């Protein structure tokens, strides 16, 4: 019965994590360039059942001792980001840029005291110009070109398919720093629709396919996410009923079995 409670409780934890992921996807259904997440679950690896007691050997902390194993139930293995492209929506705004290359990302600067040259990656091309005349994201991170931060000033500009930024008065002023990843799974979300990757994973993009006046939409399909949430809620409720049933049986065992003659 105790293991049944463990299994049902683990199942509820899995469904809660999946519900959180689907909810976050729905919240970002209108976020430009957002990539949805999926939770990957797996059976419990041979998890140790332990009790609080001084250990005599093994790799356990001093207060734990191995008493058995179980492979019952399920657990969240990891969160996986779906990098499938979103639809490109025409806006006509020259500050808006989109990338046709699924593996390509814009590079933005987000320095910290510990990392003054920190660079992050995004698919969100809804840019603007800050008070100093630099091309930035809507949150204020500076968009990087091959020569560093891109100074636009008050001029209108055009962007070629290769990312070259041109103005009527100054001609070609810089080229967007665009990178791509052979393996997108090395990217990790850091919040605010930004990604971080291990050093050396990003390489210059060969064919970025920049589209000016377009924005990439989120790859979240609202109807599908709602259906997934309904399925998760039902699975959570089923696990909850199983847990309650085991708890009732345990109560009977404790309160009645011992009193039988």
Question: What are 90-132's pLDDT values in tens digits?
Answer: 999 999 999 999 999 999 999 888 888 899 999 999 999 999 9
Residue with more model confidence, 11 or 26: 26
| Model pLDDT, residue 54 | 47
Q: With contact defined as beta carbons under 8 Å apart, do 137 and 108 qualify?
A: yes
Interior angle at CA 137, CA 167 and CA 115, nearest 5: 110
Tell me how far apart the alpha carbons of residues 164 and 183 are, in angstroms, rounded to a whole number: 26
Question: 104 phi and psi, to 5 degrees?
Answer: -100, 145
Q: For 35-53, what is the mean pLDDT?
A: 68
Interior angle at CA 81, CA 76 and CA 83, nearest 5: 160
Residues forming a β-bridge with 50: 66
- Cα 54 to Cα 48, 51, 61, 179, 255, distances in angstroms: 15, 9, 9, 53, 31
Nearest residue to 68 (alpha-carbon basis) of 43, 44, 51: 51
Residue 29 burial by CB count (10 A; 0-12/13-18/19+): exposed, middle or buried? middle
Q: Tell me the pLDDT tens digit for each residue of 160-205.
A: 999 999 998 889 999 999 999 989 999 999 999 999 999 889 999 9
What mean pLDDT value characterizes the chain? 86
- Cα 16 to Cα 42, 44, 211, distances in angstroms: 15, 17, 39
Q: pTM for the whole thing?
A: 0.80
* Helix orientation angle between 222-255 and 2-27, rounded to the nearest 10 degrees: 160
- pLDDT tier for residue 140 given thresholds of 50, 70 and 90: very high
Confidence check: pLDDT of 52 > 50? no
Residue with more model confidence, 211 or 253: 211
């Amino acid at each position: 019965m105790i293991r049944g409670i463990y299994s049902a409780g683990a199942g509820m934890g899995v469904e809660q994590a999946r519900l959180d992921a689907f909810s976050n996807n729905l919240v970002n259904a209108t976020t430009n360039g957002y990539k949805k997440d999926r939770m990957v679950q797996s059976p419990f690896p041979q998890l140790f059942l332990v009790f609080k007691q001084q250990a005599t050997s093994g790799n356990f902390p001093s207060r734990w001792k191995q008493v058995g194993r179980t492979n019952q139930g399920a657990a969240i293995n990891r969160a996986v980001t779906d990098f499938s492209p979103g639809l490109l929506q025409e806006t006509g705004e020259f500050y808006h840029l989109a990338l046709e290359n699924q593996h390509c990302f814009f590079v933005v600067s987000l320095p910290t005291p510990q990392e003054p040259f920190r660079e992050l990656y995004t698919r969100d091309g809804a840019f603007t110009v800050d008070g100093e005349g630099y091309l930035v994201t809507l949150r204020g991170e500076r968009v990087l070109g091959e020569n560093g931060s891109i100074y636009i000033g008050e001029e209108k500009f055009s962007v070629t398919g290769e990312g070259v930024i041109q103005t009527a008065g100054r001609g070609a002023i810089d080229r967007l720093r665009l990178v791509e990843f052979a393996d997108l799974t090395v990217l990790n979300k850091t919040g605010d629709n930004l990604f971080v990757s291990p050093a050396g994973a990003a390489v210059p993009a060969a064919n970025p396919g920049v589209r000016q006046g377009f924005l990439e939409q989120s790859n979240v399909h609202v109807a599908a996410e709602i259906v997934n949430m309904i399925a998760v809620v039902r699975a959570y409720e089923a696990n909850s009923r199983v847990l309650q049933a085991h708890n009732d049986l345990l109560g009977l065992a404790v309160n009645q079995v011992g009193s039988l003659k």
